[in-house]
């Protein structure tokens, strides 16, 4: 291998903390804020036009940002649990992304308002006469459902807030003990995370088709979350590096690692997706196959194939090469592509409940995406413009600076 390691600048110290300059920060917040405002306006218009469709469209966009935030939270926890050294700067960026989770409590309000449309199969009056749903009523009833949602979102918000806050505290104090305490908390956190994400996936997404069940569904959502969070991380990393920041803590080697992880989780997503599909397809039991059958009708078939090629085969071939992962524009293209595919994945899971027989994309779907997307961008922009761009006094900062891929 002949790549010469980039030469890093002097060791960072607190005196010349790397922050976004005020003008850039303001500009970012303005642009993101404009997108968010436009998105929210469109959302209101969409709600006024077709409240039912809007509920589904909004759920898709909402889950798109929530899963990205969850993937980011997982990344943060994972870096602590594994005592990772390469990812010190990346961890801070993922802390920004996970800051969407506290905001998601507010963003969830339209979902709650639209719940009777979204979950009409089991919330509606016909559920009482459905022999299968009657057996599930202890789980699938509105009161318990809302209580569970409250638990999930509170937990996610607390974890995201706590890890980001403790990390920021270390910026001020440089206390090594804070690293230890984040490590200690990370192990039980990952357990809570796994359970809440799985049940959250069952409740919010799987119960849209309340007869259907799949034990791997939580893992499938998890895989998509991590891929898309890493895609956002790739955008932030390349964006900041390209703008001339992070000169002292992040090189093409770190970008390469983000690319590798994105590649690995793309393969993981395909593995989980294939396991779920193949086992159901093979056994061919009506109550399970129906879910995939619905997604093989009319134009849904094209969406299914788009996922197969767009979420796996194409990015797999593209990201296989190390040159792509180390090339800034190529990695950005791959990241945007994966984010789009993650949206398609959610669309494919959620919308067939409404658009049975065939997909009917509408401007309302775009509104449902643009609102949450704008808020996510705004959250990241605010976080990025307000604090240091990397943990200034992380004890592993020296290690991250030395990082080279073999």
Partner 1 sequence: MAHTESSAGSATPAAAAAVAAAVDVATRPFALVGHFESPAQLYRACETLRDAGYEHFDAHTPFPVHGLERAMGLPASKLPWVVLCGGTAGLSLAVWLAYYSQEVWYRHNIGGKEAFAIPSLIPIFFELTILLSSFAAFFGLWAMNKQPEFFHPVMQHPSFHRASDDLFFIAVEARDPKYDPVATRALLETLGTRELAEVAP
Partner 2 sequence: MSAAKTPDPSGEIRNDLMEDPRERAPLVLGGQNFHTVSNKVAGIVEEKTSLKWILGLGLAMSIMLILVGSIGKLVHTGIGVWGNNHPVGWAWDITGFVFWIGIGHAGTLISAILFLLRQKWRTSINRAAEAMTIFAVMCAGLYPAFHVGRVWFAYWLFPFPGQMGLWPNFKSPLVWDVFAVSTYATVSILFWFVGLVPDLALMRDRAKTKLRHTVYGIFALGWRGSHRHWLNYERAYLILAGLSTPLVLSVHSIVSFDFAVSLLPGWHTTIFPPYFVAGAIFSGFAMVMTLLIIARKLVGLEHLITMRHLENMNKIMLATGTMVGYAYGMEFFIAWYSGNEYERFAFINRAIGPYAWAYWTMVSCNVIFPQLFWFKKVRTSIPAMFVLSIIVNIGMWFERFVIIVTSLHRDFIPSSWSYFRPRLVDISMFAGTFGLFFTMFLLFCRYLPMLAVFEVKGVMPAADPHHEPAAGLGSVGSGKGGHGHGAH
CA distances (Å), origin 308, targets 247, 298, 337, 351, 387 = 38, 17, 14, 18, 40
184 touches partner 2 by CB under 8 A: no
Q: Which two tokens stand for residue 279?
A: 């086992």
285 touches partner 2 by CB under 8 A: yes
Helix 100-107 crosses helix 51-81 at what angle (to 10 degrees)? 160
For residues 377-406, which are near partner 1 according to CB under 8 A?
A: 404, 406
Q: How far is the CB of 291 from partner 2 (least distance, A)?
A: 11
Return the SS3 of 389. Answer: coil
Phi-psi region of 174 (alpha: psi -120 to 50; beta: other; left: phi over 0): left
7 touches partner 1 by CB under 8 A: no
Q: Which two tokens stand for residue 169?
A: 């505290």
Binding-residue pattern over the window 26 to 65 for partner 2, x denoting contact by CB under 8 A = ----------------------------------------
Q: If we measure between CA atoms, which residue out of 303, 295, 277, 304 comes closest to residue 356?
A: 295
11 touches partner 2 by CB under 8 A: no
Answer with the entry of partner 2, partner 1, none that 4 interacts with (C-beta below 5 to 8 A by kind). partner 1
Residue choice 199, 212, 268, 277 for contact with partner 1 (CB under 8 A): 277
CB of 241 closer than 8 Å to CB of 248: no
CA distances (Å), origin 78, targets 106, 135, 265, 396 = 27, 38, 14, 15
Q: Which is nearer to partner 2, 27 or 136 (CB)?
A: 136
169 touches partner 2 by CB under 8 A: no
Chain CA centroid to CA 148, Å:
20
Site residues, partner 2 (CB under 8 A): 1, 83, 85-86, 132-133, 135-136, 139, 176, 179-180, 187, 191, 194-195, 198, 202, 211, 213-219, 267, 271-272, 275-276, 278-280, 282-283, 285, 287, 395-396, 398-399, 406
Site residues, partner 1 (CB under 8 A): 1-2, 4, 274, 277-278, 281-282, 284, 404, 406
């Amino acid at each position: 291998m002949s790549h010469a390691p980039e030469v890093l600048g002097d060791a960072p110290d607190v005196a010349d903390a790397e922050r976004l300059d005020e003008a850039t920060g303001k500009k970012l917040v303005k642009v993101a804020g404009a997108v968010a405002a436009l998105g929210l306006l469109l959302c209101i218009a969409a709600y006024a036009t077709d409240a039912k469709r809007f509920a589904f469209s909004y759920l898709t966009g909402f889950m798109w940002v929530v899963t990205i935030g969850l993937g980011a939270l997982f990344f943060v926890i994972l870096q602590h649990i594994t005592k990772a050294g390469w990812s010190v700067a990346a961890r801070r960026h993922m802390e920004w992304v996970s800051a969407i989770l506290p905001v998601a409590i507010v963003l969830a309000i339209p979902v709650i308002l639209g719940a009777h449309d979204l979950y009409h199969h089991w919330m509606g009056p016909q559920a009482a006469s459905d022999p299968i749903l009657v057996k599930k009523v202890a789980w699938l009833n509105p009161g318990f459902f809302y209580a569970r949602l409250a638990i999930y979102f509170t937990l996610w918000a607390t974890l995201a807030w706590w890890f980001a806050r403790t990390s920021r505290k270390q910026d001020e104090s440089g206390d090594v003990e804070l690293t230890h305490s984040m490590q200690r908390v990370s192990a039980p956190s990952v357990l809570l995370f796994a359970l809440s994400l799985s049940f959250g996936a069952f409740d919010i997404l799987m119960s849209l088709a309340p007869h259907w069940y799949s034990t791997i569904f939580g893992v499938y959502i998890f895989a998509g979350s991590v891929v898309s969070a890493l895609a956002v991380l790739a955008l932030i990393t390349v964006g900041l590096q390209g703008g001339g920041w992070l000169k002292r803590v992040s090189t093409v080697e770190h970008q390469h690692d983000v690319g590798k992880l994105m590649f690995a989780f793309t393969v993981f997503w395909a593995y989980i997706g294939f396991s779920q599909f193949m086992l159901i397809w093979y056994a061919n039991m009506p109550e399970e196959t129906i879910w995939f059958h619905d997604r093989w009708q009319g134009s849904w078939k094209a969406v299914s194939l788009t996922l197969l090629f767009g979420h796996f085969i194409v990015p797999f071939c593209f990201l296989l090469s190390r040159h792509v992962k180390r090339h800034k524009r190529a990695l950005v293209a791959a990241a945007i592509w994966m984010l789009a595919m993650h949206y398609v994945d959610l669309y494919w899971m959620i919308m067939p409940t409404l658009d049975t027989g065939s997909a009917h994309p509408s401007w309302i779907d775009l509104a449902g995406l643009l609102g949450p997307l704008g808020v996510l961008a705004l959250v990241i922009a605010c976080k990025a413009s307000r604090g240091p761009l990397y943990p200034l006094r992380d004890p592993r900062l020296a290690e991250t600076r030395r990082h080279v891929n073999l």
